[in-house]
Amino acid sequence: MLTRQAKNLFYRIAGPLMQMNGALYEAFRSPPSRNGGTIRVQLGPGQRHYLHGWINVDANMFTAKCDVWSDISKHLPFRDESIDAIYSHHVIEHLPNLPVHFRELYRVLKPGGVIRVGGPNGDAAMREYLAGNAAWFSDFPDARHSIGGRLENFVFCRQEHLTILTPSFLEEIAVAAGFQAIRVVKPITETGYPVMFDSQVMSHEWESSPESPHTLLIEAKKR
């Protein structure tokens, strides 16, 4: 895992290039608004979670597998109302401004478009911490033996995570952006939009504790 300092340096050096590349893609290659086809986008596929048939966007062009190299923290490289579905898994907790990000998700979706987004489950973490269930937590990224240390690992991940995610917090942000039909869904097995979020998507999710999921996932729809 790269340090926060190393990532900050990368973004300082590569940020202008990513912004220019994203702007060129949006202007000349991104799908047109209200296009007739079904366009699905994944944000942050990383090295192992590339989705075939989707447009995969990532800021890391060196080790990640992506179709578009762009910084998604401030702007998405797509035209207004051009995308049918957006998926991101353990990405949003790394972003500095979630209200801005959700407004961008809403902007690029067609009317009736849907999102499936999520990351570390803050509600479950607090519940398991108060129950004294240290086994629910892993010792990643640092070897921690205390339950408090493991909670710190889960929530902050060496300062890689910039916020804590809970259902009420994500709902507040999504509603403010204009989304409706917001609901929490279980990883791997549950979706309200199986045509968009099919078995290929589900196969990239994981969960070792189905009754108290480590991942908080929400789906929502644009009016």
- What are 209's two structure tokens? 């504790």
Q: Is the full-model pTM beyond 0.85?
A: yes
Q: DSSP state, 93?
A: G
Return the amino acid letter for 159.
Answer: Q
Architecture of the structural domain at 4-121+162-222: 3-Layer(aba) Sandwich (3.40)
Domain locations in the chain as residue ranges: 4-121+162-222
**Ranges under pLDDT 50 in the chain:** none
Are the beta carbons of 160 and 177 closer than 8 angstroms? no
Secondary structure of residue 215 in the 3-state scheme: strand
pLDDT digits (tens, 9 = 90+) for 75-122: 999 999 999 999 999 999 999 999 999 999 999 999 999 999 999 999
pLDDT the model gives residue 58: 95
pLDDT the model gives residue 5: 75
pLDDT the model gives residue 2: 64
Return the amino acid letter for 143.
Answer: A
Are the beta carbons of 220 and 179 closer than 8 angstroms? yes
Residue closest to 220 by CA, chosen among 167, 182, 173: 182
pLDDT the model gives residue 1: 65
pLDDT the model gives residue 196: 98
How many other β-carbons are positioned within 10 Å of the β-carbon of residue 56? 22
pLDDT the model gives residue 12: 83
* Buried b / exposed e along 98-125 (16+ C-beta atoms within 10 A): beebbebbbbbbbeebbbbbbbbbbbbb
